[in-house]
């Protein structure tokens, strides 16, 4: 017959192992969530890159109609005096600076950050500008694009600098 000290030690060991199992299961669940988000990003990332590039291409060509096709219903672009403005909830921001004679020649996607829910993403883009002579123009302007997924498609929700 086991003595009471040995039983207490075994009960403590069982308790400690049970706590360790619960802790490990929680960590495993977190890792599964990270893996799911990663797989989602691998699947959705190319669409975000494509839509971001399309948006800048449309800005480059002052194609307001095309810009608005991929925009959320509460967000739109308008052309005023040869410049493009982003308009959302009564807030208006100038997006292009054509009066400076700067042209977006190309752009670099610096980062893509999916929100935890997976239905929102923030994209940081560094545009490369040239002047009317084709010479590079040093610009410290970055675009931040905010996309939201509605049903099966991504729409531009906002833009900032």
Predicted structure pTM score: 0.76
Taken in order of first residue, the domains within the chain and their CATH numbers are 4-160 (3.10.450)
Q: Which of 123, 114, 119 is nearest to 152 (CA)?
A: 119
Tens-place pLDDT, residues 52-111: 999 988 988 889 999 999 899 999 999 988 889 999 887 888 887 766 667 778 888 898
Residue pair 83/72 in contact by the 8 Å Cβ criterion? no
Q: Which residue has the higher pLDDT, 122 or 91?
A: 122
Residue pair 142/124 in contact by the 8 Å Cβ criterion? yes
In this predicted structure, the answer to whether residue 33 has a pLDDT above a threshold of 80 is yes
Tens-place pLDDT, residues 15-32: 999 999 999 999 999 998
Distances (CA, A) of 1 to 7, 8, 10, 72: 10, 14, 14, 74
Q: Read off the tokens for 14.
A: 């069982």
């Amino acid at each position: 017959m086991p003595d009471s000290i040995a039983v207490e030690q075994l009960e403590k060991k069982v308790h400690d192992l049970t706590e360790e199992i619960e802790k490990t299961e929680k960590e495993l669940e977190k890792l599964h969530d990270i893996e799911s988000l990663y797989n989602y990003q691998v699947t959705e990332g190319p669409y975000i890159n494509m839509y971001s590039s399309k948006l800048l291409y449309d800005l480059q060509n002052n194609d307001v109609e095309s810009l608005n096709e991929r925009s959320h219903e509460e967000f739109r672009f308008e052309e005023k005096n040869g410049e493009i403005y982003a308009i959302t909830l009564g807030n208006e921001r100038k997006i292009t600076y054509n009066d400076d004679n700067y042209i977006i020649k190309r752009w670099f996607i610096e980062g893509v950050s999916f929100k935890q829910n997976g239905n929102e993403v923030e994209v940081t883009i560094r545009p490369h500008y040239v002047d009317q002579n084709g010479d590079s123009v040093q610009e410290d302007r970055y675009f931040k694009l905010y996309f939201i997924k509605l049903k099966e498609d991504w729409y531009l929700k906002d833009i900032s600098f």
